[in-house]
Amino acid sequence: MVESFVSKLEVKNLAISYRGAPALSAVNLNLAPNEILGIIGPANAGKTSFLKALNRMDEMTPGMEVEGTVLLDGMDVRSWRNPYALRRKVGVVFPLPVGLPLSIRDNVTFAPRMAGVRSNQDLDGIVEKCLRRAALWDEVKDRLDSLGSLLSGGQQQRLTIARALSQDPEILLLDEFSIAVDPVTTMRIEEVLKELKEEMAIILVTNLTQQARRLADRTAFFLSGQMVEVGETEALFQGKVEDPRTQQYLEGSFG
């Protein structure tokens, strides 16, 4: 039995559609502080749409409609007057590295500058702290003024993480970060996430079930626009499932 906990994020009856076509229905899910929650499922299960609804990225997606409630520390995210302030608390890392056409340094300091940080000393501290947390500092510390776009794919993905961390998020959303990086870099990022868990809550959408097993405290299985079930990760992998489709997916019968 999963112990009860105070939710950092709570999702109630979340439903998503695109121009009237249902994409996700009746999701009820919560996230504890300092928890990694894995979300697994095949393509078109609604996983990315779910992430978009959590920090109102749906407002930047034409035709996307969201119903239901998302509470951050008990406050409805739709009640925030400034969605950018919300997104500073709920950061996101996309599947493919999306570097700004700026230097490595400016990629990391962009958000703090927009938030009003002006001291070069403070900004330098943010750059080093975030690049270290993203396991990138030692590789780039001598070329901070070079373009971020010149980094390797794996380095760019870690730069994207550093940029997300520059806003000191309380929740970090990751959408299949492994797609564009090699196995060695994937493992390095996984180690970063284990450390970040001490400071924040993380939702990890992954198409790699074993990655969920390595990282997630609990895992939710999405299929055909529905959340089939959620449970303690190791229990699910040991066959303690409520729905046979979960077991079939974990065994690779479909995906």
- Residue 83 in tokens: 């969605």
Q: Is 198 exposed, middle or buried (0-12, 13-18, 19+ CB in 10 A)?
A: exposed
Longest dimension (CA), the chain: 56
Compute, in degrees rounded to 10, the torsion defined by CA atoms 144, 90, 167, 193: -50
Q: Mind listing the domains of the chain with CATH numbers?
A: 9-250 (3.40.50.300)
Token representation of residue 232: 């303690």
What sections of 96-147 are H helices per DSSP? Answer: 104-114, 120-133, 137-140
Give me the pLDDT at residue 5, please.
Answer: 63
The C-alpha atoms of residue 200 and residue 8 are separated, in whole angstroms, by 10
pLDDT in tens, the chain (255 residues): 344 568 999 999 999 999 999 999 999 999 999 999 999 999 999 999 999 999 999 999 999 999 999 999 999 999 999 998 999 999 999 876 666 789 999 999 999 998 889 999 999 999 999 999 998 999 999 999 999 989 988 889 899 999 999 999 999 999 998 887 788 888 988 999 999 999 999 999 999 999 999 999 999 999 999 999 999 999 999 999 999 999 999 998 876
Q: How far apart are CA 39 and CA 192, in angstroms?
A: 19
pTM score: 0.91
